[in-house]
A = this chain, B = another copy of it.
Amino acid sequence: MYITLEADYAVRIVDCLARNAIRMDAKTLAAHTGVTLRFSLKILRKLVAEGIIRSYKGTQGGYELAIPAQEISLGRVIETVEGPIIISRCVGHEEYVCSQSGGKSGYCRFNKTYTEVAQMVRERLYREHFGLEEGQEE
């Protein structure tokens, strides 16, 4: 039950841009976050597509936040690179059957629980934003 390394990298990148608040090119960003250049480029594209950061081409190009850091949530960054937060694959499917002796044809017993957990996680991650350092609770 991990977030992927890619999501972790995306968080580092956004955090780095938020802290430094200047336009940074991919190479510098990669060096500062410890992500390989190529891989960071792939992540940067996703973040640009989502509208979290903005890119500039040409000789003085690079990347900046597209919106204030305080408006970017951790959850949004994570879901941007790894898709919606879900706990169990069988949420919404109702596939498997476990019934013997009169037992009603079961569907996944804990569907509702998994959905709830995913929602909890999502809410918590969307409540956390970049930019603020110590007293982060709004």
Binding site for B on A (CB under 8 A): 1-3, 5, 8, 11-12, 15-16, 19-20, 32-34, 74, 82, 85-90, 96-101, 103, 106, 109-110, 113, 116-117, 120-121, 124-125, 128, 130
Would you give the shortest CB distance from A98 to chain B, in whole angstroms? 5
Closest 6 CB pairs of A and B: A16-B98, A15-B109, A20-B100, A113-B128, A34-B96, A32-B98
Q: List 14 A-B contacts (CB under 8 A).
A: A2-B86, A2-B87, A2-B88, A2-B89, A3-B88, A5-B89, A11-B110, A20-B103, A32-B100, A34-B97, A113-B124, A117-B124, A120-B120, A120-B124
